Structure 1
Amino acid sequence: MENFDAWIGKIEITPDLSNPRPVAMMQALLNEPNKQLTQLPHLYHWLYFLPIVNGEDLAEDGHPKKGGFLPPIPFPKRMWAGGRLQFLNPILVNQNIRRESEISKIDFKQGKTGNMYFVTVKHSIFADGQLAIIEEQDIVYREASNAAPATQVPVPAPIAVKQYSYKKTFPVNTTTLFRYSALTFNSHKIHYDRPYSMEQEGYPGLVVHGPLLATLLMHTFTQKHPNKQILSFDFRAVKPVFDFNEFYICGNLQSEEAELWIEHTDGQAAMKAKVTFKEG
């Protein structure tokens, strides 16, 4: 086990502008009309602060090579495992925005499918100098040698929450994955290169982006409850969704929070989330 504690506390600052074009493109991806919004919907800040990396600086998996801001963990399989967000102030369209990122934790764990590192990155996002969002992202790195193909991963127990305030589908296919990868400048091959995803990383197909699933959860909740002011959103990936899967976007509304989840047709949870809110 290699020690990467020297990377804890490393900081990166990225400026950007919340221009409206990515917002309109995301609305099109979600089959929504362009509503000429004045502020970013929740989680749309993921469309900004994108790393601009030359092709020669990409690793075999399509990600930017490690060793810049993120530690050079040698395990090749890396994915966004979940996150926690606090929404403090809105981000308006065409505002100057800034993201201050800090590596806050690096943990080594031994799992059933092999060794893993979990890297937690804390982002503080400012709009015209005012703190708007505090976010923690969990990134998991898995070694290749002991990682079983996704078809052999033990099936998790069915999701405990079975009371639905709503349950709906959203069609996701290879075109959806391509458009989301393009919109977020995400060149990770598991989302578009089927031979690589199956032969190199052991998946049965193309992997649906975790942030896209999280965005579908948030988007559907705000559609169903437009008058609720969202305070926080926590999400965790549980089981992959592939391009050939049908799945449901589910929510169970309670007094001051809601349980949200992505559910496979067999009842297994793919992503679990919680949103807290107050009446707007």
Structure 2
Amino acid sequence: MTTDIDLDHLRGWIGRQETTTEAVTPDLVRRFRATFDIGGPIPQPGEAAPRLIHWCLGQPAVATAALGPDGHPARGGFLPPVPLPRRMWAGGAVRFTGDLRVGQVMDRLSRIAEVTLREGRSGSLCFVTVEHLISAAGRVVATERQDIVYRGAPDPAAAGPGPAPEPAFLKPAPAGRHHRPVGIGPALLFRYSALTFNGHRIHYDRDYATGVECYPGLVVHGPLQATLLFNYAAGLDGRAPDRFSFRSLSPLFDGDAVRLHASETEDGLKLWTARDGGPVAMTAEAGWD
């Protein structure tokens, strides 16, 4: 119920800022490329780092003892202490005006821009919008909006054994003009969690994901899906996108037979992920200046 959430208190976080810094090391670039099967020579100082690698930089490094039961840092601090147990990166948009380069130090200025509350099919949903300014060597290289959603815990009794049926409103995804299969298994999920220092247990702890949060398997990270789509767009066009937005619509799990899809639009590419026979999991748009 929304009456259990003090929205006015949470909106008091609007305007809060946080600054983080971290170097773009050759080793990080090498591990990022390996995780996404990107070839290339040993990264050299001064060369452009892969775009979206900034999601692997400046992540919270709280003590293990300060983690909550889901593996996330305890609530409060920079993000508002939303009293809903499930937190997920629901979508966002990023615009690049340059590139981070190997050997540079990334500076990220983050600001809480909005906190809203609404009722969904499964109960209360709290949305937190964060704006990021990413710079290096005194120059802004990207601006970003991050959409975080909080929601209530599942009802284990209602979940029952086995995968839940697809809601009627989630229709099977169409095929894009371009499409290809992509393997998403436990090793990729673990590697991406390690790259982003993400302790959220739904991505690597199968007993927790299935027994506590009632998912049918390990959950594929939203930004991992977004990076796969971004890289797919870059491969189709021959250049990394300058504009990229994405939105999660339904979850994917390890073991799903997943395909990346893309079709041309007037402004660039529309992209989406889906498991074979399943609904759209994530939709995205890519554009070039």
**TM-score when scaled to structure 1?**
0.93
1:186 maps to which residue?
198
CA gap 1:73/1:153 in 2 versus in 1, 3 angstroms: farther
> Structure 1 residues 29, 229: closer, same or farther in 2, change over 3 A?
closer
Write out the 4+ residue segments of structure 1 that deviate beyond 4 Å after TM superposition: 145-150
3-state DSSP of counterpart to 1:85: strand
**Structure 2 SS opposite 1:7:** coil
Q: Which runs of 5+ in 2 are unaligned?
A: none
CA shift at 1:255, angstroms?
4.2
Letter in 2 for 1:39: A
1:184: how far off?
Answer: 1.2
Alignment check: 8 A CA contact 2:91 2:247 kept: yes
Which residue among 102, 113, 128 is the counterpart of 1:104? Answer: 113
Does 1:20 pair with 2:29? no
Aligned Cα root-mean-square deviation (Å): 1.8
The residue that corresponds to 1:269 in the other structure is: 280
Partner SS for 1:206? coil
Judged with a 3 Å threshold, the aligned counterparts in structure 2 of structure 1 residues 121 and 34 are, in CA distance, closer, same or farther, namely: same
C-alpha separation between the residues in 1 aligned to 2:198 and 2:151? 19
Give secondary structure in 2 for the equivalent of 1:63.
coil
Is 1:84 aligned to 2:84, yes or no?
A: no
Q: Match for residue 139 of structure 1?
A: 148
Q: Is the 8 A contact 1:249 1:261 kept in 2?
A: yes
What is the CA–CA distance in structure 1 between the aligned matches of 2:93 and 2:206, rounded to whole Å?
30
Counterpart in 1 of 2:171? 157
Q: 1:175 to 1:49 in 2, by over 3 A?
A: same
Equivalent in the alignment of 1:2: 6
Q: Secondary structure at the match of 1:60?
A: coil
Contact 1:28 1:34 in 2 (8 A): no
Taking structure 1 as reference, are residues 195 and 229 closer, same or farther at Cα in structure 2, changes over 3 Å only?
A: closer
The aligned residue for residue 169 of structure 1 is: 181
Distance 2:184 2:172 in 1: 22
Give the deviation of 1:146 after TM superposition. 6.2
CA contact (8 A) 1:251 1:260 kept: yes
Q: Once the 2 structures are TM-superposed, how far is the Cα of residue 32 of structure 1 from its aligned partner?
A: 2.6
Q: Does 1:130 align with 2:143?
A: no
Alignment-derived partner of residue 56 in structure 2: 47
Which whole-Å deviations, capped at 9, do the CAs of 1:219-267 have from their partners, x for residues lacking one?
11112221x4622100001111101201101111234311011022015
Contact 2:87-2:151 within 8 A present in 1 as well: yes
C-alpha contact (below 8 Å) 2:206/2:217 kept by paired residues: yes
Counterpart in 2 of 1:236?
247
Amino acid of the residue matched to residue 164 of structure 2? T
Runs of 5+ in structure 1 lacking a partner?
A: none
Change (3 A) 1:145 1:255: closer
Q: Is the CA contact (8 Å cut-off) linking 2:230 and 2:241 kept in structure 1?
A: no
Q: How many residues align?
A: 275
**Amino acid of the residue matched to residue 235 of structure 1?**
F
Q: Which whole-Å CA distance do the structure 2 matches of 1:25 and 1:136 have between them?
A: 25
Partner of 2:211: 199
User: C-alpha deviations, 1:192-243, integer Å up to 9, x for none?
Assistant: 11111112112111101111111100111112221x4622100001111101
The one-letter code matched in structure 1 to 2:146 is Q
User: Match of 1:236, as an amino acid?
Assistant: R
1:215–1:145 distance in 2 versus 1, CA, 3 Å: closer
Q: Compare 91-100 and 117-126 and name the one that shifted more.
A: 91-100
Structure 2 length normalisation: TM-score? 0.90
CA, structure 1 residues 32+145, in 2 after alignment: closer, same or farther (shift >3 Å)?
closer
Q: Which amino acid aligns with 1:2?
A: D
Q: Which shows bigger deviation, 238-247 or 16-25?
A: 16-25
Q: Deviations over 1:38-68 (max 9, x none)?
A: 1122211111111111111100000011111
